[in-house]
Each structure stands twice: as C-alpha cells, then as structure tokens.
Amino acid sequence: MSLQGRIAIVTGSGGGLGRAHALYLASRGAKVVVNDLSLEAAAKVAAEVAAAGGDAIAVAASVTDEAGVAAMVERTLAEWGRVDILVNNAGILRDKSFAKMTMDDFRLVVDVHLIGAAICCKAVWEPMRAQGYGRIVMTTSSSGLYGNFGQANYGAAKMALVGLMQTLAIEGAKHNIRVNSLAPTAATGMTEGVLSEESLRRLDPALVSPGLLALVVEDAPTRAILCAGAGNFAAAHVTLTDGFYAGAGGRRRRARSRGLGRGDRPGGRDRPGLRLHPGRARAGQGRFRPPMASWSPAAARAQENAPGRGVPGAFQFSLDGRA
C-alpha cells in the first residue's frame, strides 16, 4: 500500500532495523526523517533514500534530549508541513543478570527505550491532534512480553511501552491517532556477537519492515502488537480468562471455568483456585489462547470462522500491507 504524501520520523535509523524501516517506508512513498545519534550515520541512510528516488533529511539527536527532539519535529514541520508517522525505534542494551546489574544500567535502558519514546510521542502529539491524523509505533520485544534472562531492564522498558501504547491509543482515537507496537526479531548492532552467522542471515532486518507498514497505513489497526522476524508474523495479545467467582467470604466456594483450575495430578480432581497451564490449554476451553501462533491466510480464516475462537480486536496481516 502507498504512503505517498506521508511524512515519517524513524528514530535510531542510522543503521540496523531503523535503517531498514526508513528505506522501506521511503520505497512506499513516504518522506522520511532519518534520526540517529550520529549525523554521519543518519546522512548516509538519507543519501540511500535519495539515491533510490525518495526524499529524506538527516537529523542527529538523542531521543532522551527533549530540546533536540522538539527541534527535530520543528524542522520536519518547517520542511514538509506535517508529521504523519512516528516510529520509536531507538534503543540500547545493557544485558546482565539482575544480581549483577547496577541501577544505573537499569535506569539508562528505561530512559532510552521508555522515556525516549514518550518524549518523541509528546513532541508529535499536538501536530497530529491538530491535523486529525497520526500513526505511532512503539518497538516492544518478546523480552518484555514474555521475559528473557539477563534483560530485566530491557524487558521492563519494552513491556512499559505496551502500556504506553494502550493509553495513547485510547486518548488519540478521537483525533484519528492510532498507536501500535512492533516486536521485532532481527539482526542488528545490538545482536552482534550473540547469534551465529546463519542466524544473522535469516534474521535480516528487511524482513521485519513489511510488518511495520501494516501498522502505519491509513487503515492500520490500533492497540495491536505485531511480532515479526525472519519473514514470520504473529499477533500477541494482552488477554483475560473467564475466571470464576469465589465469593466475598463466608462459606468456601468451589468452582471451575471450563478446563481452568485443574489440579496438577493427571486425572486429579478439581481444586479451588485458578491454575493456568498455557502448555496444556486445549482449544475451546475458556477464553485462554496461547499468546503467539504462526500466522497464515488459512489459519487466519480458520480462526475467524470458528465459533468462539479468536481474540477480540485481533487483526490479520498480509504482506501487501493490508490490515
């Protein structure tokens, strides 16, 4: 789908995933602000966009610098008159087990990923409200959605971005501002030395960016979490089980909720209390669904057509950018 006439800011786009995003959005017709800490890196990507026939400007600024971000947005408005898309991509890693992690490292990662994204959102919020249009994408991570050893700081920041997405989507709805999250798995400067060469090849950042397109087009969803990597795409959901009513006190109540609350012993009797076993959940039991499932057109159609299946507010993704 075309982004002709749209103006996009992509933070941390001097290399890696951000570069892939900037090039891809430009290939779809968007004019792109290439932001990075390094002006040289940003200018190189802007030159790539121009060489391919697109329009781009390079801006050096830290997402944690409110004045620098404000100046970037002001320059964008002066150059092109509007800001339609913000991709919060900038980030860093300071991986250590929590036992060895310093609070300085914890604060630094949260400051860049969470506070930096909030600063950028704040800078574009009023222009988007005034023009009655905006598309914002947070870059979350499976480390935040599901956890990962050695990334307490990173995981906390990435899950916090989902919370920020949820609230900004609600507040921005009446102004046609839609806010989503992208959880990429890609080879970037942050993964060098961590993965094998074969894994790095398969995790080409360019294979993530088509997923970004689905989140920034005119008919994009809102409050969606899209996981993307190596050409695979899946939607993650913050969901809730049916649960059960345990009473407000007095006589002890026993209850179960369609397969939830089973005891640990095979064939054991139901016990009071809610026990969730994601690995054991069977289709049709309660509202619980595994958080990720491989996406395919057939699977999407089967889920859509099955009675009582699927998650409210889910969206389907296609490689041509339709959501």
Residues with a known catalytic role:
154
SS3 320: coil
SS3 285: coil
Structure tokens at 80: 């092109």
In 10 A of CB 244, how many CB atoms? 18
Structure tokens at 238: 């913050």
The b-or-e profile of 60-69 (16+ CB within 10 A means b, else e) is bbbbbebebb
In 10 A of CB 249, how many CB atoms? 6
The torsion angles phi and psi of 317, rounded to 5 degrees, stand at -115, 140
Structure tokens at 161: 């971005």
SS3 179: strand
C-alpha span between 317 and 323 (Å, rounded): 5
